[in-house]
Structure 1
Amino acid sequence: MTVELAVDASLLVRGVSPVLAVPFTDQGEVDFDGFERLVQYVLSCGVTSVMFPGFASEFHKLSEDERWRLTHILLSRTRHLNDVAAVVAVQDHATILAVRRARAVVAAGADVINLLPPHFLTPSRRSLVDHICAVLEAVDPIPLVLQYAPTETGTSLDAATLGTIRERHPNLRLVKVESSPPGALIAELAARNPPLPAVEGYAGVQLPDAVRRGAVGTQPGCSFTEIYVEIWQRLTASDPDVAESGYELHRRLLPYISYWMLDTERIIAAEKLISVRRGLFASAYCREPAHRLDAEEVRMVDRFLAEFADRLPALG
């Protein structure tokens, strides 16, 4: 995507915007070829944006060199596409480092920044706001998605604070709401004047409620993107019968994702095994410390793949 169009790239972060996993070898080294195949697969599912790196990418287990090489692999696939936005995440705790990284990934071809506010040692609300505003100013007019993940980070933000930031920095274009449940905050943001659109995360566990309350997209993991795309298309259809079929499909998915999302490391492990079973990459290895699926959890993954076999073809 060209720089001239980047100011509108947030419009592409709608619908399903998968967060890319990072495949490793059985020895724990990054499988760069596997990552490239994963990018190709996700883009083939009809999405208009992808995000990297997030919690689902095990970003906190990557070296700087690994992270940059993976980012450049993604951007090599997206920077010339006007209909796909690459959302590149910034999670640095120090504001100076977050600003530096945000500018660097924009220079490398990122279309949208995803910002996870600092959370180590419980920074004050004022410090959080200052950090967010510094990154917004540094990349203006490039659009930014602010990730609100209180369970993982302990960070506390509210609609009024987010709205105030948006008034000062219009390139805050979306909020990724991962509170549990997310619906109330999504509705508050949608009711503001002007509205501050939100996307839902957390594996889509609360996706139907989020859609009813005004969510414009979802950012799940990437191992079964086809199912999320189908659910989203149905939930947002104008035909009530089609929309109801979306609720039914989500009800079938819910027992799996609600269990896996009891722990972030568990769903990372489950999605990696799904990816291996489907032939997306070769190893389900997660860098330690990690969740190790027990025998029943492995059987659960296989039941999931059997139940949704008509929607999840083997790709290897």
Structure 2
Amino acid sequence: MSVSPATVSPGEPVPEPDDAGSLVRGVSPVLAVPFTATGDIDVDGFRRVVRYVLGTGVSSMMFPGFASEYYKLTEDERRTLTAVLLAETGPRADVAAIVAVQDHATRLVVARAREAVAAGADLINLLPPHFLSPSRRALVDHVRAVLDAVAPTPVVLQYAPTETGTSLDGATLAAIAAAHPNLRLVKVESSPPGRLIAELAALDPPLASIEGYAGVQLPDAIRRGAVGTQPGCSFTEIYVEIWRRFAEGDTAGGEDLHRRLLPYISYWMLDTELIIAAEKRISYRRGLIASDLCRGPAHELDAEERRVIDRFLAEFADLLPDLSG
């Protein structure tokens, strides 16, 4: 198996081909769902998105996440798009497909996770329930039940307190991982994420972390031991280049490119629906998708926000080729 430097963390060994958890390294994009102008899912467009992301040299990708507007998809749409993803990744031993589950009832999420594994998912991404603020004990029981249900399939536990209000800590995560070795990674989206990433990296054995939240704190996350980042997918090439620079020891170059990106992503990440709309617009402008429609209720980009996207595309034109061909 050949793995590019952009997919391997600084100091990390090249992953073994039969270890799907170790493929979640470097940049691991969350796939967006293109819709037609009338609001239907664009299945062929989604296949194009998957192939584009694979073409950037990453070794894993996730669907469906917040960037996929998962909460606006029907059950049949999720199954259809998941099947498209797994058809593209299944034949490749060097790429891992992470299928996410977000149901609020343990029974439902267990069934969905098992279905995803049976369909060919390499890993499960688990977003713990947050509707009506379940107790810490209920959260832990839920996570343990899912880990048991899909073992030995590796699981990424997504910790997104800003979006969900869920509260977890390093000691709790360490205790879960000690009893469930298929808890392989934690996606840390707290603000800032660095302290928890460092705490998990210092465990014996370490519990690997990937940073989310559009990479706003990516350099700090890398310094503290993150093994990857999981942004949206409309400008994957920029994240791959940032990661490559850090992985090859060009820390100054990585920080410089991130510094150029930061004013854009820090604004877009002020609201989840805002960054979804911005990324859709970027993908549309690049020629990756045929429509930038987001299902309502959605953020409507105003004239200045669209001008900012124009400036973004001009500034990073050397890294973001036209994809319309």
TM-score bracket for the superposition, by shorter chain length: over 0.9
1 CA distance for matches of 2:184 and 2:43?
Answer: 31
Aligned match for 2:164, one of 132, 153, 157: 153
Question: Does the aligned pair in 2 maintain the 1:6–1:112 contact within 8 Å?
Answer: no
Is residue 2:124 matched to residue 1:124?
A: no
Counterpart amino acid of residue 47 in structure 1: V
1 CA distance for matches of 2:42 and 2:109?
Answer: 26
Counterpart amino acid of residue 245 in structure 1: G
Q: Which residue of 2 aligns with 1:270?
A: 278
In structure 2, the residue corresponding to 1:257 is in which secondary structure? helix
Q: Which residue of 1 aligns with 2:84?
A: 73
Question: Does the aligned pair in 2 maintain the 1:6–1:111 contact within 8 Å?
Answer: no
Question: Does the aligned pair in 1 maintain the 2:53–2:233 contact within 8 Å?
Answer: yes
Q: Which residue of 1 aligns with 2:301?
A: 293
Is residue 2:226 matched to residue 1:218?
A: no
Q: Which residue of 2 aligns with 1:13?
A: 24
2 CA distance for matches of 1:21 and 1:140?
Answer: 28
**Unpaired segments ≥5 residues, structure 1:** none
- Give runs of aligned pairs for residues 305-316 of structure 1, distance below 5 A: 305-316=313-324
Q: CA offsets per residue over residues 253-296 of structure 1, 9 Å max, x none?
A: 00000000000100000000000011111110000111000000
In structure 2, the residue corresponding to 1:50 is in which secondary structure? strand
Question: Does the aligned pair in 1 maintain the 2:147–2:182 contact within 8 Å?
Answer: yes
Identity rate of aligned residues, in percent?
73
1 CA distance for matches of 2:316 and 2:235?
Answer: 10
Q: Which residue of 2 aligns with 1:248?
A: 256
Q: Which residue of 2 aligns with 1:49?
A: 60
Q: CA offsets per residue over residues 222-254 of structure 1, 9 Å max, x none?
A: 00000000001112223xxx2210100000000
Q: Which residue of 1 aligns with 2:208?
A: 197
Number of matched pairs: 310
2 CA distance for matches of 1:221 and 1:295?
Answer: 22
1 CA distance for matches of 2:44 and 2:264?
Answer: 29
Counterpart amino acid of residue 315 in structure 1: L
Q: CA offsets per residue over residues 112-169 of structure 1, 9 Å max, x none?
A: 0000000000000010000000000011000000000000000000000000000110
2 CA distance for matches of 1:231 and 1:67?
Answer: 31
Question: Does the aligned pair in 2 maintain the 1:6–1:142 contact within 8 Å?
Answer: no
Q: Which residue of 2 aligns with 1:60?
A: 71
Q: CA deviation at 1:6?
A: 8.9
Q: CA deviation at 1:80?
A: 1.2
Q: CA deviation at 1:7?
A: 6.8
In structure 2, the residue corresponding to 1:214 is in which secondary structure? coil
Counterpart amino acid of residue 183 in structure 1: G
2 CA distance for matches of 1:190 and 1:95?
Answer: 29
In structure 1, the residue corresponding to 2:128 is in which secondary structure? coil
Q: Which residue of 1 aligns with 2:196?
A: 185
**Unpaired segments ≥5 residues, structure 2:** 2-15
Counterpart amino acid of residue 305 in structure 1: L
Is residue 2:288 matched to residue 1:280?
A: yes
Report the TM-score, using the length of structure 1 for normalisation. 0.97
Q: CA deviation at 1:25?
A: 1.1
2 CA distance for matches of 1:307 and 1:244?
Answer: 19
RMSD of the alignment, in Å? 1.2
2 CA distance for matches of 1:115 and 1:104?
Answer: 14
In structure 2, the residue corresponding to 1:70 is in which secondary structure? helix
2 CA distance for matches of 1:205 and 1:235?
Answer: 15
